């Protein structure tokens, strides 16, 4: 994967290395399963199952599965932040 057009029309690319588009994200479970606590060697860190891209223009988040160039999820910001949103124990 190297270039996509965001729904806001901005072109996103991960050709430059490093870049500010592609995010490397691990779930906590994947991190715990694949990282040796106390001995972190970045060369030995396996590539994650998902690639996450963020559009710097509209802040949409694109989720790609490893080996699939079509986004499986697209997240867009809500128009109004929810001021009622509070942490929950549930």
List the one residue out of 72, 81, 58 whose CA is nearest residue 9: 58
> Comparing C-alpha atoms, which of 28, 44, 25 is closest to residue 36?
44
Residues forming contacts to Zn ion in the complex (CB under 5 A) are: 6, 8, 10, 55, 57-58, 60
Task: Indicate the residue among 26 and 54 with the shorter CB distance to Zn ion.
Answer: 54
Nearer to Zn ion, 45 or 52 (CB): 52
Minimum Å gap between C-beta 82 and Zn ion is 22
| Eight-state DSSP code of residue 78 | -
Nearest-angstrom CA–CA distance, 4 and 12: 5
∠77-31-54 over CA atoms, to 5°?
25
The count of other CB atoms within 10 Å of the CB of residue 80 is: 6
Instruction: Give me the least distance between CB of 12 and Zn ion, in Å please.
Output: 7
Nearest approach, Cβ of residue 59 and Zn ion (Å)? 7
Q: Which is nearer to Zn ion, 21 or 60 (CB)?
A: 60
Residue with smaller CB distance to Zn ion, 57 or 72 = 57
Q: How far is the CB of 6 from Zn ion (least distance, A)?
A: 3
């Amino acid at each position: 994967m190297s270039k996509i057009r965001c729904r806001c029309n901005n072109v996103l690319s991960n050709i430059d290395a490093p870049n500010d588009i592609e995010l490397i994200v691990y779930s906590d479970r994947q991190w715990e399963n694949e990282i040796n606590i106390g001995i972190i060697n970045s060369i030995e860190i396996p590539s994650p199952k998902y690639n996450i891209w963020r559009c710097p223009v509209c802040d949409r988040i694109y989720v790609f599965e490893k080996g699939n160039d079509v986004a499986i999820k697209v997240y867009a910001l809500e128009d109004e932040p929810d001021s009622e949103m509070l942490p929950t124990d549930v």
